Amino acid sequence: MKGRRVLVTFIAACATICIMTPSVAQAAATCANANMLALGERAQEFVAASGSAFYKVSVVAGRSYAIMAWAPYQDAGVSAVSLDTAFYTDSACTVAATTVDQTDREPNLSVGNHNGDAVSIIPTFTGALYVRAINNVATAYYVNTVVMETSLFSPWWFTGGTNQAYVELRNNMTNSTTGTLTFYASNGVVCGTSNFSLAGNGNTAVLINGVGSCVGSLFGSAQVAFQGQPGGMAANITTLDVPNGTSFDSPFTPRMVWGNTTR
Distance, CA of 43 to CA of 49 (rounded, Å): 18
* Whether residue 3 has pLDDT greater than 70: no
What is the chain's alpha carbon radius of gyration, rounded to the nearest angstrom?
Answer: 24
Q: Where are the domains of the chain?
A: 31-149, 152-254
Per-residue pLDDT at 78: 56
* Whether residue 258 has pLDDT greater than 90: no
> pLDDT digits over 193-252, tens only?
999 999 999 999 999 999 999 999 999 999 999 999 999 999 999 999 999 999 999 999
Residue 114, Cβ density class (10 Å: 0-12 exposed, 13-18 middle, ≥19 buried): middle
Q: What is the DSSP string of 221-258?
A: EEEEEESS-TT-EEEEEEEEETTTTEEEEEE-EESS-S
* Whether residue 18 has pLDDT greater than 80: no
Distance, CA of 51 to CA of 64 (rounded, Å): 28
Per-residue pLDDT at 111: 86
The CATH class for the domain spanning 31-149 reads mainly beta
Superfamily of domain 152-254, CATH level 4:
TM1070-like (2.60.290.11)
Per-residue pLDDT at 11: 42
> pLDDT digits over 126-172, tens only?
999 999 999 998 888 899 999 999 999 999 999 999 999 999 999 99
> pLDDT digits over 54-88, tens only?
999 999 999 999 999 999 876 655 568 999 999 99
* Whether residue 13 has pLDDT greater than 50: no
Whether the CB-CB separation of 94 and 88 falls below 8 Å is answered with yes
Per-residue pLDDT at 246: 94
Per-residue pLDDT at 108: 87
What is the pTM assigned to this prediction? 0.86
Per-residue pLDDT at 257: 79
**Distance from the Cα of residue 20 to its chain's centroid:** 34
Q: Regarding beta strands 65-70 and 190-198, do their DSSP bridges make them parallel or antiparallel, or are they unpaired?
A: unpaired
Per-residue pLDDT at 75: 61
Distance, CA of 69 to CA of 134 (rounded, Å): 9
Mean pLDDT of 28-38: 90
Per-residue pLDDT at 224: 98
